[in-house]
Amino acid sequence: MVAVGIILPESNGATDLDTEDWTIAEESNVISKIQTGLNWWATRDSRARLTFTYDIHYRVPTSYEPISSSSSWIYRSYDISWIFQIFI
């Protein structure tokens, strides 16, 4: 069994403007696509007995707008600023 953590970050508007918000349909779609992709791996060889368990975290707060954050460019890596916040 493989544990898979799925984190859906959500801006709280503290650093960047909160311009994007998850809808329930978008959350469901993302989770479904991740599960479909991992299930594809599980069906490659039944002898592997590969299974997944999911730890899903919805709307984890960050002060940045991950989809369009301009503030995080100061770290020379688009993702680094909000990633530090959601994993703390």
DSSP string, 18-71: ------HHHHHHHHHHHHHHHHHHHTS-GGG---EEEEEEEEEEESS-TTT-SG
Q: How many domains does the chain have?
A: 1
| Residue 47 CA: distances (Å) to CA of 6, 56, 66 | 26, 27, 39
Compare 23 and 79 and report the one with higher pLDDT.
Answer: 23
- pLDDT above 70: residue 1: yes
Nearest-5° Cα angle at 38, 50 to 36:
130
Q: What local confidence, expressed as pLDDT, does residue 64 receive?
A: 86
Q: What local confidence, expressed as pLDDT, does residue 69 receive?
A: 60
Q: What is the pLDDT of residues 26-83, one digit of tens each?
A: 999 999 999 999 999 999 999 999 999 999 999 999 998 887 765 545 555 556 778 8
Q: What local confidence, expressed as pLDDT, does residue 39 receive?
A: 95
Sign of CA dihedral 32, 37, 43, 46: negative
Give the structural domain span for 64.
Answer: 2-86
Q: What local confidence, expressed as pLDDT, does residue 26 receive?
A: 97
Q: What local confidence, expressed as pLDDT, does residue 9 receive?
A: 93
